[in-house]
């Protein structure tokens, strides 16, 4: 009789040793810094318990462009097989260069302990200037204003593209302009995957919009009558097929009012539109909104709430009625204090409710 059949005949179960689940360092960051700040160091303050059989990973990517470098660091769990450190130069400088480091380990908890760019980066040799000049940019916020740089000798072409990077919590569109030795949209040298990081590029200058980005929250009386400033101090490079958007929401309950604003990118079938909607009109609670979608760089440029306020109906305030209601507008919680308000003539009920908002970085 085969020894392999004996446990089954006897009704026994063989227990295989269980693979110990690992705990790995966890971090996902990307940033643009000066070359002079290299070598760059970081600390992974979070730890992540992995599924049974998974390993720990280190992913590091450096994109160097003149005086600046874009750095991506990803640590966490992965199903990939173990492998020793791999350093790949996808594009060699001087000029634009891309280098990556990946490693997967399972020998112990927190074995993905890379903490600096030392294994990847070395001080580049001094470049001999050539005769070609190219616009320079390395930014996640777009290249609205650029400066020209003298390219190293042998670099006679100007690169203009957007790198899309997706992995863990990395969701970045990196605008890149700089010097190349060949005329091609191939900064990554055919690379599509760096560890858990997916990378792609697009060199169509009209494919990615740059939009103003930011949120605004104002709470003060009479915002349905008085406009407030609405400036966005930062910008963002949108995804493919996204357009710029700006949205305002006004809630006015009489002596108290709130206005929320959002600027950024949006996926929508509408390429260009402006809409003012009055969801609840006077007398009583006023709720109205403004939405603008547009498809050119930085076109979401309204500078005040006037775009909404001027579209609201104007009429003489009605005389006070006989109904008294508590009034309150509160963000991020319940009303802990309110004032008693004599409602205008024509109102017959007190409203008490919650409005849930999401999107637009709210």
Is there a domain that residue 4 lies in? no
67 and 176 part of one domain: yes
Task: Single out the residue of 260, 256, 283, 280 nearest to residue 337, CA to CA.
Answer: 256
100 and 184 part of one domain: yes
With beta carbons less than 8 A apart as the criterion, state whether 250 and 289 touch: yes
Residue range 45-61: average pLDDT? 96
Number of domains in the chain: 2
Of the pLDDT bands very low, low, confident and very high (cuts 50, 70, 90), residue 61 is very high
Residue range 324-343: average pLDDT? 81
136 and 35 part of one domain: yes
Task: Single out the residue of 23, 83, 59 nearest to residue 196, CA to CA.
Answer: 59
Residue 50 domain boundaries: 23-202
280 and 142 part of one domain: no
Of the pLDDT bands very low, low, confident and very high (cuts 50, 70, 90), residue 53 is very high
* Helix, strand, or coil (residue 277): strand
**Final residue of a structural domain among 316, 332, 352:** 316
* pLDDT value of residue 294: 96
The Cα 74–Cα 85 span in angstroms is 14
59 and 152 part of one domain: yes
**Final residue of a structural domain among 184, 202, 220:** 202
**Final residue of a structural domain among 171, 202, 233:** 202
% of residues, the chain, pLDDT over 90: 65
192 and 88 part of one domain: yes
146 and 215 part of one domain: no
* pLDDT value of residue 360: 63
The Cα 100–Cα 65 span in angstroms is 15
**Average pLDDT, rounded, for the chain:** 89
With beta carbons less than 8 A apart as the criterion, state whether 298 and 210 touch: yes
Of the pLDDT bands very low, low, confident and very high (cuts 50, 70, 90), residue 332 is confident
Residue 229 burial by CB count (10 A; 0-12/13-18/19+): exposed, middle or buried?
exposed
292 and 181 part of one domain: no
For residue range 188-199, what is the model confidence (pLDDT) as tens digits?
A: 989 999 999 999
For residue range 104-122, what is the model confidence (pLDDT) as tens digits?
A: 999 999 999 999 999 898 8
% of residues, the chain, pLDDT over 70: 93
Of the pLDDT bands very low, low, confident and very high (cuts 50, 70, 90), residue 7 is very low
Which residues make Cβ contacts (< 8 Å) with residue 289, sequence separation at least 6?
247, 248, 249, 250, 276, 277, 279, 308
* pLDDT value of residue 338: 73
* pLDDT value of residue 9: 44
Is there a domain that residue 1 lies in? no
Is there a domain that residue 345 lies in? no
With beta carbons less than 8 A apart as the criterion, state whether 134 and 148 touch: yes
Is there a domain that residue 34 lies in? yes
With beta carbons less than 8 A apart as the criterion, state whether 165 and 187 touch: no
The Cα 302–Cα 230 span in angstroms is 7
pLDDT at 159 over 80: yes
For residue range 214-241, what is the model confidence (pLDDT) as tens digits?
A: 999 999 888 998 999 998 889 999 999 9
175 and 225 part of one domain: no
* pLDDT value of residue 337: 72
Is there a domain that residue 241 lies in? yes
Of 224 and 15, the structure prediction assigns the larger pLDDT to: 224
193 and 221 part of one domain: no
Structure pTM? Answer: 0.82
Residue range 58-64: average pLDDT? 97
217 and 196 part of one domain: no
Is there a domain that residue 8 lies in? no
């Amino acid at each position: 009789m085969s020894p392999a059949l004996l446990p089954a005949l006897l009704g026994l179960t063989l227990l295989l040793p269980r693979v110990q689940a690992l705990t790995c360092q966890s971090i996902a960051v990307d940033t643009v810094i000066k070359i002079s700040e290299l070598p760059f160091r970081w600390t992974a303050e979070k730890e992540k318990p992995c599924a049974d059989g998974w390993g720990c990973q280190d992913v590091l990517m450096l994109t160097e462009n003149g005086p600046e470098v874009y750095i991506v660091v990803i640590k966490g769990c992965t199903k990939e097989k173990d492998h020793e450190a791999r350093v790949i130069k996808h594009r060699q400088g001087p000029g634009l260069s891309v280098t990556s480091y990946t490693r997967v380990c399972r020998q112990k908890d927190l074995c993905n302990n890379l903490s600096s760019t030392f294994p990847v980066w070395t001080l580049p040799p001094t470049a001999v200037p050539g005769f070609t000049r190219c616009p320079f940019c390395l930014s996640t916020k777009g290249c609205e204003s650029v400066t020209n740089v003298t390219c190293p000798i042998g670099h006679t072409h100007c690169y203009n593209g957007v790198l899309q990077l997706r992995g863990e919590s990395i969701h970045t569109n990196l605008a890149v302009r700089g010097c190349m030795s060949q005329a091609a949209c191939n900064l990554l040298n055919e690379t599509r995957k760096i560890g858990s990081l997916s990378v792609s590029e697009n060199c169509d200058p009209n494919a990615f919009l740059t939009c103003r980005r930011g949120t605004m929250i104002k709470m003060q009386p009479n915002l349905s009558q008085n406009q407030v400033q609405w400036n966005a101090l930062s910008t963002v490079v949108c995804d493919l097929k996204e357009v710029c958007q700006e949205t305002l929401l006004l809630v006015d309950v009489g002596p108290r009012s709130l206005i929320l604003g959002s600027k950024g990118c949006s996926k929508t079938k509408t390429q260009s539109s402006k809409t003012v909607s009055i969801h609840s009109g006077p007398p009583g609670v006023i709720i109205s909104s403004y939405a603008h979608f547009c498809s050119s760089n930085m076109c979401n440029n309204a500078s005040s709430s006037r775009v909404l306020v001027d579209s609201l109906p104007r009429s003489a305030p009605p005389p006070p009625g006989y109904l008294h209601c508590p009034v309150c507008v509160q963000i991020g919680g319940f009303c802990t204090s309110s004032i008693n308000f004599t409602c205008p003539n024509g109102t017959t009920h007190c409203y008490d409710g919650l409005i849930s908002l999401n999107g637009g970085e709210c």
